[in-house]
Chains A and B, each alone.
Chain A
């Protein structure tokens, strides 16, 4: 699986958009970009994933650059409950060796009142 690079921490004002960047310069053509978050003391939670097109769901938007070497997770209107560690992971959905996710250190997002 390709490695990802994320800033260790970020702050965001409540009600503003939170933009979390991720670099994945060695991503392969069949690898998807996944985002998870982990709120303190809970298990990681799936947020969104994409291959090359931008994606949006009820939780967030995912913007992937045209060369696919980086992406940004956008929380459009951050709330205090969005304070969490956000993990960016790249992985092929059905690899021959299995479909396990390897989590890095993520970005610790703090939403400030």
Chain B
């Protein structure tokens, strides 16, 4: 298994531009999570899905952020318009709702200039 795959690994964009981060969870996992990590705030849960349905998006910072999971093998996190304070590492993780926790992807390092 290739694990959780995120793309791109690095993204540099100008303020005001739209940014789309992508995630492919582990096959068979039915829960997917988006986290954001910064030095100031640590790891923050943004949103999670169970069986492709968003369950809790209370961690999404504001309306500029949106996430979708059109099928069991793909999810996107979109920021429109992006701002410098959105600069962070964004992690995607998936789980089979079992006891063994999450598997995280390698993350996308986003820099908004």
Contacts and interface: CB of A to CB of B under 8 A. Distances in A.
Interface of A: 32, 34, 36, 41-46, 49, 93-94, 97-105
B107 A43 contact: yes
A28 to B, nearest CB: 16
Given A102-B45, A105-B42, A43 B50 contact: no
A68 B95 CA distance: 25
Residue of A36, A42, A98, A102 with most chain B CB atoms under a 10 A cut-off:
A98
Contacts of B91: 43-44
Nearest to B96: A99
A7 B98 CA distance: 29
Contacts of B50: 98
Interface residues of B, number: 25
A99 B106 contact: no
19 contacts: A34-B101, A41-B107, A42-B106, A42-B107, A43-B93, A44-B91, A44-B102, A45-B104, A46-B103, A93-B99, A97-B55, A97-B56, A98-B48, A98-B50, A99-B97, A100-B33, A100-B45, A101-B33, A101-B45
A26 to B, nearest CB: 20
Judged by DSSP, the binding face of B is strand
B75 interface: no
A101 B107 contact: no
Interface in B2-24: 4
B42 A101 contact: no
Interface in B53-99: 55-56, 91, 93, 95, 97-99
B105 interface: yes
B99 to A, nearest CB: 5
B13 to A, nearest CB: 20
Nearest to B49: A98
Given A43-B4, A100-B33, 6 more contacts: A43-B93, A44-B43, A45-B104, A46-B102, A97-B55, A99-B97
A42 B31 CA distance: 21
A73 to B, nearest CB: 14
Contacts of B100: 46, 49
